[in-house]
Structure 1
Amino acid sequence: MTAGTVIMSLVAVTFQLLLLVGGGRAVDTTTNCKLTSEIQKERDALKLLEPLTNKMFSVVEKTADDKTYTYDFQVCGDVGGMKGAGLVQKDGTKTVIIGSYNSTQAIHGSDWVMLIYGDGEKYDKHCSGENRRAIVMISCDRNTAASDLQVVLENRERDKDCFYLFELDTSAVCPALPSKLSVGSILILTAVCCFAAYLIGGFLYMRLVVGAKGVEQFPHYAFWSEIGNLSADGCDFVCRSRGNRREPHTHTAVATEAPEEEPEERDDHLLPM
């Protein structure tokens, strides 16, 4: 097995893992919404709602005259299989399209998105017979992924510009929190990540390319096995001043007793008799 083959295999495995982890998030479902005016700011506001796509939100409302309505809402998706229907109202067996995602507006604030679906079915007796319109106020709530849909009001007591108003809380539109990591923490995390990449990459290289076994699979094993001795030598070199050390002077022991006097040599025999 050559080094090039090993590298290509690792790249392929990594790509497959990324696909599995991503879970299809690469597809932007909000592109299904057709804006009334293709403005980049509105398209960016829609992208914030990507975590809410492919989910159905429903709410049941009971009016003062004992009528019960069920509202179903979906972000840039067909409600109940009805093409283009973004928000519908159900009254028993009757279903009315309140708003279509084929006529969308999206307004983005600091921590909210106002989603407007227009081109709903026409009113029968109200609002001069104009098309219905649904407004969903989506606000920031960091404690929930998506709350239940709530009905605020239906404003139809006017000649035109009538609308249904709903609200929904989600963490998807919350602004990013500023990082609380210090420069030192970031450097430490970077160093740890680099060291982990070094260990994993070196282990794979030694095992798959070099064919090492056992502890020899550890990258630069000979160096790391001597790291303790090298550290001790370095500490000894830095902390101990061998060159300036002087040997203590040696002194010859001095005898405390007086030397024994040799007996005086007798020379009487040399005198003439």
Structure 2
Amino acid sequence: MALCLIEVMAQSTWWRLLAFFVLMVTKAQAVENTSRCKVKNNSEKKVLSVLEPLTNQNFTAKTKDEMEEYTYVFQVCGDADGVKDAGVVQKNKDKQLVVIGNYSLTQAIKGSDWILLIYQGGEKYHEHCSQGARKAVIMISCDRTKTAGPLSVILEDRERKSDCFYLFEMDSSAVCPPIESKLSTGSILLIVCFSCLAVYLIGGFLYQRLIVGAKGVEQYPNYGFWSEIGNLSADGCDFVCRSRGSREEPPTYRGVSTEPLEEPEERDDHLLPM
């Protein structure tokens, strides 16, 4: 029996080490994915770390008008549609690609339940925006029901003289703030105590019944100890709360003896005949 328990514990230890190793590799890979985006400060790196669940995925959106049909591909800190350094690309019906923004020039802004991701350094306009560079602005909003919602094209603002941009929008639960626990410290302590008590009772009961082979009340863990505690508690309560013997009333006046006074002996000598 002891040898079997040792083997089980060894196997459990190996599984735990393997799970820990896989978890560390996964975290390191996720951090490496978001580190591809080049930002200016560490605060923006923290913002990008929130978007780790959205990495290595292509999000697409389509627009169509009377003259042309376009497909947009967006990726978080990755090569959109396989184009190197491109965070957002645009394709027409002839599969001609235009890079709208590069993740090598990234800006990340975080709000209470949203993140604004900006890719700059796209290809230059030929006629619009004073032939300036294109820029992609992606608004990612909180939606707890969606891991990553569909990408939508809101507008292309190219009628200004400079700083033109494409605006995209999508929903994701990754940017949602954590739900704060409404339990008080006392409630948490009670839950922990009751959980530990339940584990103690159930585990001890199974051990006593299956391993030791106990029957009846002996199946309860440490039955002898707890019964002794109960008896000692009862004895202590009996000693403190119950009176022992009769209690004397304190004398009313000091100096007066509490012993009963002897009554004078009645003499009947005067009744005898002379």
TM norm structure 2? 0.71
1:188 equivalent in alignment to 2:190 = yes
Q: How many residues align?
A: 233
Q: Which one of the candidate residues 27, 30, 36 is aligned to 2:34? A: 30
Q: Which one of the candidate residues 135, 145, 148 is aligned to 2:147? A: 145
Question: Structure 1 residues 6 and 240, CA, compared in 2 at 3 Å: closer, same or farther?
Answer: same
Give unpaired runs (5+ residues) of structure 2: 214-218, 247-274
* Structure 2 Cα separation of the partners of residues 192 and 97 of structure 1: 59
Quick one: which amino acid aligns to residue 34 of structure 1?
A: K
Q: Which one of the candidate residues 227, 230, 234 is aligned to 2:228? A: 230
Shift of 1:72: 0.8
Quick one: which amino acid aligns to residue 179 of structure 1?
A: S
Q: Match for residue 258 of structure 2?
A: none
Q: Match for residue 250 of structure 1?
A: none
Consecutive aligned runs of 4 or more in structure 1 exceeding 6 Å deviation? 4-9, 195-199
Kindly provide the CA deviation profile for residues 227-259 of structure 1, in whole angstroms up to 9, marking residues without a partner as x: 552354245324445974669xxxxxxxxxxxx
Which one has more relative contact order, counting CA pairs under 8 Å at least 6 apart? Answer: 1
Quick one: which amino acid aligns to residue 33 of structure 1?
A: C
SS at match of 1:185: helix
Question: Structure 1 residues 106 and 15, CA, compared in 2 at 3 Å: closer, same or farther?
Answer: same
Q: Match for residue 81 of structure 2?
A: 80
* Structure 2 Cα separation of the partners of residues 50 and 14 of structure 1: 25
Quick one: which amino acid aligns to residue 187 of structure 2?
A: S
* Structure 1 Cα separation of the partners of residues 21 and 193 of structure 2: 27
Q: Which one of the candidate residues 104, 121, 138 is aligned to 2:106? A: 104
Greater share of residues in helix: 2
Identity %: 42
SS at match of 1:164: strand
SS at match of 2:192: helix
SS at match of 2:178: coil
Q: Is the 8 A contact 2:120 2:134 kept in 1?
A: yes
Kindly provide the CA deviation profile for residues 181-226 of structure 1, in whole angstroms up to 9, marking residues without a partner as x: 1122211343356668989xx99xxx9xxxxx95259xxx996243
* Structure 2 Cα separation of the partners of residues 32 and 192 of structure 1: 47
Kindly provide the CA deviation profile for residues 18-51 of structure 1, in whole angstroms up to 9, marking residues without a partner as x: 345677134312111112x2x1221111111111
1:215 equivalent in alignment to 2:207 = no
Question: Structure 1 residues 196 and 10, CA, compared in 2 at 3 Å: closer, same or farther?
Answer: farther
Quick one: which amino acid aligns to residue 68 of structure 1?
A: E
Shift of 1:54: 1.5
* Structure 2 Cα separation of the partners of residues 150 and 58 of structure 1: 8
* Structure 1 Cα separation of the partners of residues 151 and 134 of structure 2: 19
Point out the more displaced range, 147-156 or 176-185: 176-185
Residues 44-123 of structure 1: pairs in structure 2 closer than 5 A: 44-63=46-65, 65-92=66-93, 93-123=95-125
